[in-house]
Amino acid sequence: MKKKIALNLVSVLLAAASCQASGANIFVECESFKELGGWVVDAYSMRNIGSAYVMAHGYGRPVADAVGTLSVPAKGTYAVWARTRNWNAEWTKGAAGQFKVKVNGRELRETLGGGDRSWGWRKAGEVSLEAGAAEVALHDLTGFNGRCDALFLTTTGTRDACPYQGTIELKFGASGAVTAGGKFVTGQDKNGKDIVYSASCSTVLVPDAARSASAPYQSDCYSLYLYFPPKAGKFDGYGAAISLEWDVAEKKFSVVEH
- What was the pLDDT predicted at 6? 32
Side-chain-side CA neighbours of 23 within 13 Å: the count stands at: 21
Which part of the chain is CATH 2.60.120.260? Answer: 25-161
The CA-CA-CA angle for residues 168, 246, 220, to 5°, reads 105
The pTM (predicted TM-score) of the whole model is 0.66
pLDDT tens per residue, range 203-225: 888 888 888 888 888 888 887 77
The contacts of residue 172 (CB under 8 Å, 6+ apart) are: 7, 8, 9, 10, 178
pLDDT tens per residue, range 4-55: 333 322 233 333 323 344 578 898 999 999 999 999 999 887 766 667 899 9
Question: In angstroms, what CA-CA distances link 73 with 67, 70, 132?
Answer: 19, 9, 7
Q: Does domain 25-161 have CATH number 2.60.120.260?
A: yes
